[in-house]
């Protein structure tokens, strides 16, 4: 180069825009092969070096410096390796900031978290100096750096601000590339581009003041009463406000929410719109307000409506307008003290709100029409297994809902247990990583960050239709409840907490510093809020004399006693049966199954018999023809555990599936059947929620084995059996629980019939144990007929196992076309000579079939030698058929003894339930005895030969005239 040429300006400065882009393309081509470009252009590159980068601006050189050769010339082909290493190390630093920056995020309001090891996000770890970073173009380490950021130092500083200040982002566990990139862009550029307006900030401050004053007003006005204050996680209310606005704007017409008791009253009044006066009235008229000092939240409280529940377990509904005509309904689910068990209920609500069940086939889900929000506790999120079960619904076809917004109201304590003792994970939210749910950690004392996180969550849900979790880190200002002294277990924490200002004060100071509000405006907001609270309390006190305390036994009307006609004409049954046996052209069913199903073609003819599986299929089909949708789920429900249903068929050549229920010409509603995940509590909870939200749907949950209901006991105890009297929730849910002693050991014998009978009261359930296919047919149709009415109750079915294929259970077709479900059945061929009957046996379920087999009936008739005996099958145990039992006993004046015969141990099964009911209906002097297995701690023997001996003994004693138990 001559001195003259060095003084001249680079020709690249004359290019800009598309022309500069063209020069850059030529230069890239030149780097690959100099001979591929025009000699004049090649000469310019050799003389002037590379052109500037378009993206970085005309003054930034995105290419590494040239290494000086021994002859003093610049070689474009020789790059300084040390410089390349610095670029690579800077790239690693960027990746670490994105991945581990959350560890250093400033989102702990009390500073309780130990100082993290941040070496992975420090430039010094990679031996990078400020000068090194300044010499690296930003675009080399951050592809989407904005124009205002030109070098690596600026890029690193910006990314550290994004990932280590207000937000702790965890996105690295998201496998989908487009999702991960979108989340990263939102964090690095998107959130900063959407600052809150002055009007939004003032409204946010007002909301925080309302939240705070509501709690302090309750504390002063109702001293010593528990409310499970929100204080310490105050930002939850404006967060929920924002979720409601966002998802309603996106088209959701139902917003379904679930949360535990902490902060629930504040959410009820401010998000659900429950009037202050209504909540104050519950406190003011509490019958035990002066004695309610127990530390447990569920021990004592006010009862409102029916037998009721404490105030901080209750749900509510609210409708909000979007525009002129469209309305969004918000529902907060009722929730017991079993904290996270409301989660699957809410998921069931949401899917039910999304499903269109009006047409045949599977329901069509519109995920945008409803949204779920679940507020978790930090200790419960990590500690309760139901959380993982429910998160598993995220991508499952029968259970997904297009994305749930999860918020952990993280107060760093579980009752009195600190985080280090309640979980093994670093964060309370870590469980969600296994389900690829994005996580944002924010401080509850930074309400603007909380709102920004909500907006990101709602946008992600809208775009990708998946769950999102916000871990809002706060604290608990009082003890577990307001009567609890927290300093006995966390003295240092609460000494520090006394000096910590509340969120509204912190935010007000921030807004005053920025000039958005004045102190006078803040005080005016406080005065206005306090005046509303005082006016509501004054109203309650003024109306004190007119208030009437609800009665504890106010359980609503009982079911009407009437027979429901459930028979279907044989002609219609035959048409439906024929349609159920039609496969699509070319669809090849497994040969063995094809033969089994095709046997059903002639069972409705004279002399035919309808077995259990066919009776169920005909019941389903006729219910669909009546316009009632059906939803059936369980771990093997498509085929059924005992392979009797096969309602979804598989093509043996391509595994395509087909269900004749979906092409049934007579069907007027949807039919959904899903093989559920291997979880009982969450699936039963989901189905209960689905049914409560859509009471017109016949919803059936089928346990793989009846004893698996053990794993769903909380849902059964808290929701299925008690939801009606606690919260006026009406459900017609059906539970199919395979039950029966076939020598398969303790785990697969008993569905714990005794538990359901123990829980039966106030006309809350229907419990049956049937012995014929026609009874099952009529039972399902009876249940479908009462759905959506006040007659509906959960139906508990002790479903058969071996009886499914037992010829004695199959029914004559006429039994399906005529009649209805019978509460009791009398053994055919017995009891015809009333004056000769001396022993009357009552039994239920499979035991009746075992007794019948021992009678060795001929043409359905017993030998004359059995004149002394009559057997009655109690098909419905609850409500107990007392009228039928009384009438049968009265028919036999010479009965000396009445026996209850069962296969379960004496302390299990129905004996303890039926014994007083039978004894109350026999004549004085009549012996009432139990025949069955002795009392045991385990329901059945694990040895088949012992089972057989025991069963034979029960039958022998029951049928031997001379034997006494």
Tell me which DSSP letter residue 716 carries. I
Q: How confident is the model at residue 5 (pLDDT cuts 50, 70, 90)?
A: very low
Which has more confidence, 65 or 697?
697
DSSP letters of 620-638? HHHHHHTT--EEEEETTTT
Half-sphere exposure of 839 (CA within 13 A, CB side): 21
Q: How confident is the model at residue 509 (pLDDT cuts 50, 70, 90)?
A: very high
Angle between helices 503-513 and 519-542 (to 10 degrees): 150
Q: Tell me which residue of 816, 699, 797, 661 sits closest to 740, measured CA to CA.
A: 797
Burial (CB count <10 Å: 0-12, 13-18, 19+), residue 355: buried
Asked whether the predicted pLDDT for residue 564 surpasses 90, the reply is: no
Alpha helices (runs of H) in 63-197, residue ranges in sequence order:
81-100, 130-134, 138-141, 152-164, 177-185
The residue ranges of DSSP E strands in 204-258, in sequence order, are: 254-258
Most confident among 5-19, 531-545, 927-941 (mean pLDDT) = 927-941
479-495 pLDDT tens trace: 888 778 888 898 888 88
> What's the rounded Cα separation, in Å, for the pair 496 and 752?
51
- Please give the share of the chain, as a percent, with pLDDT higher than 70: 88
**What's the confidence (pLDDT) of residue 84?**
87
- Please give the share of the chain, as a percent, with pLDDT higher than 90: 69
The SS3 call for residue 713 is helix
Q: How confident is the model at residue 694 (pLDDT cuts 50, 70, 90)?
A: very high
Q: Do residues 82 and 97 make contact, with C-beta atoms less than 8 angstroms apart?
A: no
Which has more confidence, 659 or 861?
659
Q: How confident is the model at residue 616 (pLDDT cuts 50, 70, 90)?
A: very high
> Which phi and psi (to 5°) does residue 551 adopt?
-80, 140
Asked whether the predicted pLDDT for residue 615 surpasses 90, the reply is: yes
Tell me which DSSP letter residue 137 carries. B
The helix (run of H) or strand (run of E) holding residue 658 is strand 657-658
User: Once rounded to an integer, what is the mean pLDDT over residues 930-935?
Assistant: 96
Mean pLDDT lowest among 8-12, 808-812, 955-959: 8-12
25-82 pLDDT tens trace: 778 788 888 887 777 677 777 777 787 653 344 333 444 444 444 454 444 445 578 8
CB-based contacts of 552: which residues, under 8 Å, 6+ apart? 303, 307, 308
> What's the rounded Cα separation, in Å, for the pair 310 and 301?
5
Phi-psi group of 110: left, alpha or beta (phi > 0 → left; psi -120 to 50 → alpha; rest → beta): alpha
Asked whether the predicted pLDDT for residue 593 surpasses 50, the reply is: yes
**What's the confidence (pLDDT) of residue 838?**
95
451-464 pLDDT tens trace: 999 999 999 999 99
Asked whether the predicted pLDDT for residue 309 surpasses 60, the reply is: no
Asked whether the predicted pLDDT for residue 380 surpasses 50, the reply is: yes
Q: How confident is the model at residue 111 (pLDDT cuts 50, 70, 90)?
A: confident
Which has more confidence, 561 or 753?
753
Strand partners, 283: none
Computed over every residue of the chain, the mean pLDDT equals 88
> What's the rounded Cα separation, in Å, for the pair 809 and 612?
7
**What's the confidence (pLDDT) of residue 321?**
62
CB atoms near residue 596 (< 10 Å) = 15
Angle between helices 447-464 and 198-221 (to 10 degrees): 110
CB-based contacts of 203: which residues, under 8 Å, 6+ apart? none
Asked whether the predicted pLDDT for residue 803 surpasses 90, the reply is: yes
> What's the rounded Cα separation, in Å, for the pair 64 and 80?
8
Q: How confident is the model at residue 654 (pLDDT cuts 50, 70, 90)?
A: very high
Q: How confident is the model at residue 904 (pLDDT cuts 50, 70, 90)?
A: very high
């Amino acid at each position: 180069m001559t001195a003259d040429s060095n003084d001249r300006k680079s020709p690249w400065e004359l290019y800009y825009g598309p022309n500069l882009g063209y020069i850059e393309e030529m230069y890239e081509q030149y780097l690959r092969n100099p001979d591929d470009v025009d000699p004049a252009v090649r000469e310019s590159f050799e003389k002037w070096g590379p052109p500037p980068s378009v993206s970085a601006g005309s003054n930034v050189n995105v290419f590494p410096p040239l290494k000086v050769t021994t002859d003093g010339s610049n070689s474009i082909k020789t790059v300084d390796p040390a410089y390349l290493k610095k670029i690579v190390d800077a790239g690693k630093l960027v990746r670490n900031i994105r991945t581990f920056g959350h560890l250093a995020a400033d989102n702990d309001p009390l500073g309780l978290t130990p100082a993290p090891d941040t070496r992975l996000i420090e430039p010094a770890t990679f031996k990078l100096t400020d000068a090194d970073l300044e010499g690296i173009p930003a675009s080399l380490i951050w592809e989407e750096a904005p124009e205002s950021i030109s070098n690596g130092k600026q890029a690193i500083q910006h990314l550290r601000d994004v990932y280590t200040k207000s937000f702790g982002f965890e996105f690295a566990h998201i496998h989908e590339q487009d999702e991960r990139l979108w989340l990263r862009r939102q964090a690095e550029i998107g959130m900063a581009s959407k600052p809150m307006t002055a009007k939004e900030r003032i409204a946010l401050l007002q909301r925080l003041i309302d939240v705070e004053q509501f709690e302090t007003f309750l504390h002063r006005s109702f001293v010593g009463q528990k409310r499970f204050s929100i204080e310490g996680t105050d930002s939850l209310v404006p967060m929920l406000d924002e979720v409601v606005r966002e998802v309603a704007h996106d088209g959701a017409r139902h917003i379904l929410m679930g949360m535990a008791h902490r902060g629930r009253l504040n959410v009820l009044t401010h998000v659900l719109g429950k009037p202050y006066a209504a909540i104050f009235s519950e406190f003011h008229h509490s019958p035990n307000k002066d004695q309610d000092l127990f530390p447990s939240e569920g021990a004592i409280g006010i009862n409102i409506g029916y037998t009721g529940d404490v105030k901080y377990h209750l749900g509510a509904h609210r409708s909000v307008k979007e525009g002129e005509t469209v309305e969004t309904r918000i529902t907060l689910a009722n929730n017991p003290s079993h904290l996270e068990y409301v989660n699957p209920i809410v998921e069931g609500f949401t899917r039910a709100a999304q499903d269109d069940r009006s047409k045949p086939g599977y329901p069509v889900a519109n995920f945008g029409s409803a949204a779920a929000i679940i507020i978790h506790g930090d200790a419960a999120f990590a500690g309760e297994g139901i959380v993982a079960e429910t998160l598993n619904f995220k991508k499952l076809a029968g259970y997904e809902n297009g994305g749930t917004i999860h918020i952990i109201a993280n107060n760093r304590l579980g009752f009195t247990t600190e985080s280090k003792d309640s979980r093994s994970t670093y964060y309370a939210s870590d469980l969600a990583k296994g389900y690829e749910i994005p996580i944002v950690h924010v401080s509850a004392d930074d309400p603007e960050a909380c709102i920004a996180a909500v907006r990101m969550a709602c946008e992600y849900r809208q775009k990708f239709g998946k769950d999102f979790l916000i871990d809002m880190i706060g604290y608990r200002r009082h003890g577990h409840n307001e009567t609890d002294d927290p300093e006995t277990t966390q003295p240092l924490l609460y000494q520090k907490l006394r000096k910590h200002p509340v969120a509204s004060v912190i935010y007000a100071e921030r807004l005053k510093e920025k000039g958005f509000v004045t102190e006078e405006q803040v005080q005016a907001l406080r005065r206005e809020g306090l005046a509303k609270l005082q006016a509501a309390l004054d109203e309650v006190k003024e109306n004190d004399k007119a208030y009437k305390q609800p009665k504890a036994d106010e359980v609503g009307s009982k079911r009407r006693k009437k027979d429901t006609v459930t028979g279907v004409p044989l002609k219609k049954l035959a048409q439906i049966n024929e349609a159920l046996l039609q496969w699509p052209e070319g669809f090849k069913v497994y040969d063995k199954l094809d033969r089994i199903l095709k046997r059903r073609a002639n069972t409705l003819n004279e002399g035919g018999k309808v077995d259990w599986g066919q009776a169920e299929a005909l019941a389903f089909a006729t219910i669909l023809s009546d316009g009632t949708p059906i939803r059936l789920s369980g771990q093997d429900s498509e085929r059924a555990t005992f392979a009797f249903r096969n309602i979804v068929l598989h093509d043996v050549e391509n595994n395509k599936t087909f269900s004749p229920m979906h092409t049934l010409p007579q069907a007027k509603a949807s039919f959904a059947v899903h093989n559920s995940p291997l979880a009982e509590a969450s699936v039963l909870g989901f189905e209960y929620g689905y049914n409560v939200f859509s009471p017109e749907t016949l919803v059936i949950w089928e346990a793989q084995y009846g004893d698996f209901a053990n794993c769903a006991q909380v849902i059964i105890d808290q929701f299925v059996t008690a939801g009606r009297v606690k919260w006026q929730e009406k459900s017609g849910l059906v539970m199919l629980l395979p039950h029966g002693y076939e020598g398969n050991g303790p785990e697969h014998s008993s569905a714990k019939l005794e538990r359901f009978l123990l829980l039966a009261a106030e006309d809350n359930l229907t419990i049956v144990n049937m012995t014929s296919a026609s009874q099952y047919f009529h039972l399902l149709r009876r249940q479908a007929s009462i759905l959506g009415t006040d007659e509906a109750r959960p139906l508990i079915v002790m479903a058969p196992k071996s009886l499914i294929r037992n010829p004695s259970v199959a029914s004559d077709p006429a039994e399906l076309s005529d009649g209805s479900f019978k509460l009791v059945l009398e053994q055919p061929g017995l009891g015809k000579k009333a004056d000769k009957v001396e022993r009357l046996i009552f039994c239920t379920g499979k035991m009746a079939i075992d007794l019948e087999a021992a009678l060795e009936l001929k043409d359905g008739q017993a030998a004359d030698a059995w004149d002394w005996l009559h057997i009655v099958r109690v098909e419905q145990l609850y409500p107990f058929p007392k009228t039928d039992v009384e009438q049968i006993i009265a028919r036999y004046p010479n009965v000396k003894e009445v026996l209850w015969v069962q296969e379960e141990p004496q302390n299990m099964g129905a004996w303890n339930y039926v014994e007083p009911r039978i004894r109350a209906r026999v004549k004085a002097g009549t012996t009432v005895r139990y025949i069955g297995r002795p009392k045991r701690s385990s329901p059945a023997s694990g040895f088949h030969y012992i089972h057989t001996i025991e069963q034979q003994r029960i039958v022998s004693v029951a049928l031997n005239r001379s034997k006494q138990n």
